[in-house]
Amino acid sequence: MSAVDEKKVNAAGQGAAAQKAAAGAACGCASGAPAAGFAGTASASCAGSSRLIGPSGATSAPDPDWEPNIVGFACNWCTYAGADLAGLSRMQYPPNVKLIRVPCSGRANPQFVLRAFQKGADGVLVAGCHPGDCHYATGNYFTRRRFLLFQRLLEFSGIDPRRFQARWISGAEAPKFRDVVTQMAEEVKALGPNRKLREEL
């Protein structure tokens, strides 16, 4: 190969490398790093950027197959027993409702609810005995007063108050338990994924 031809080959190679580096720098990904260095955080136009967008990002519409993540704090004496009865009766209700048994609905501290939202819950349910039927006499009265104020706090934090519900369900009310969790799952699904307070995972 002559010296002139060798210069043409080298020039063509350098031009291709420059184009590749410019393309990498334009989207901010690492493909142009050897020639141009890192250009910053990947933008939404980069082919691999969808893996870099955290759970708080809202650059795309929710998946139509998406189902909400719902956490329920259920009183051991009433609501949890109602859930057991619903299961024994083979009643169908959404499997994406995860129940946590607590001694009393009054034990479901608002901090537990906030923590559930931080850890990825799209909706939270607190359920216990009907007023006057509490195993500990006044636990559900404290629950009712506490969470009426708590809903205002959620609104102040930017969370739709419909994402949180407090209900009274006795141990004999399996159909009511099924209806409550089914309705809540449908309402929260219509609201879409919760983006507020969620920790980056």
Q: What letters, b where the CB count within 10 A reaches 16 and e where it falls short, cover 76-93?
A: bbbbbbbbbbbeeeeeeb
- Kindly state the tokens that stand for 111: 């901090």
**In this predicted model, which residue has the larger pLDDT, 74 or 140?**
74
- CA distances in angstroms from 16 to 4, 39, 57, 118, listed in the order given: 19, 19, 35, 47
**Percent of the chain surpassing pLDDT 90:** 46
- Mean pLDDT over all residues of the chain? 77
If asked whether residues 94 and 44 sit together in one domain, one would say: no
Calculate helix-pair angle for 110-118, 139-156, nearest 10 degrees.
40
Residue-number span of the structural domain to which 40 is assigned: 3-51
Beta bridge pairs of residue 73: 100, 126
| Greatest mean pLDDT range, 19-23, 148-152, 159-163 | 159-163
Q: Which amino acid is residue 62, in one-letter code?
A: P
Q: Encoding tokens for residue 158?
A: 């930017």
Cβ atoms of 73 and 124 within 8 Å: the answer is: yes
Residues 6+ apart with CB under 8 A from 150: 110, 113, 164
**Domains of the chain: total:** 2
Looking at the structure, tell me whether residues 96 and 178 fall in a common domain. yes
pLDDT reading at 184 higher than 90: yes
Whether the predicted model's global pTM rises above the 0.85 cut: no
- pLDDT confidence of residue 183: 96
201 forms bridges with which residues in the sheet?
none
| Residue 41 pLDDT > 70 | no
Q: Is residue 123 part of a domain?
A: yes
34/81 same-domain check = no
Any domain includes 30:
yes
Question: pLDDT tens digit string along 42-81?
Answer: 333 343 333 323 344 343 456 778 999 999 999 999 999 9
Q: Phi, psi at residue 18, to the nearest 5°?
A: -65, -40
Helical ranges in 55-137 per DSSP H: 79-88, 110-118
Quick check: helix, strand or coil at residue 31?
helix
Q: What is the mean pLDDT of residues 22-30?
A: 44
Asked if residue 165 belongs to a domain, the reply is: yes
pLDDT at residue 90 in the model: 96
The answer to whether residue 12 is domain-embedded is yes
Q: What is the pLDDT of residues 86-110, one digit of tens each?
A: 999 999 999 999 999 999 998 888 8
Judged against a pLDDT cut of 80, whether residue 2 lies above it is answered with no
For residues 91 and 21, membership in a common domain is answered with: no
Domain of 131, CATH number, reads: 3.40.50
Q: Which amino acid is at 172?
A: A
Residues 111 and 140 in one domain: yes
- Based on the domain organization, do 99 and 175 belong to the same domain? yes
pLDDT of residue 11: 55
**76 and 39 fall within a common domain:** no
State phi, psi for 170 to the nearest 5 degrees. Answer: -85, 170
List all residues 6 or more positions away from 72 whose beta carbon is below 8 Å from its beta carbon. Answer: 79, 97, 98, 99, 100, 124, 125, 126, 127, 181
Q: Are residues 9 and 47 in the same domain?
A: yes
Mean pLDDT confidence for 157-164: 91
Q: Structure tokens of 6?
A: 């060798």
pLDDT at 15: 54
Is there a single domain that holds both residue 172 and residue 134?
yes
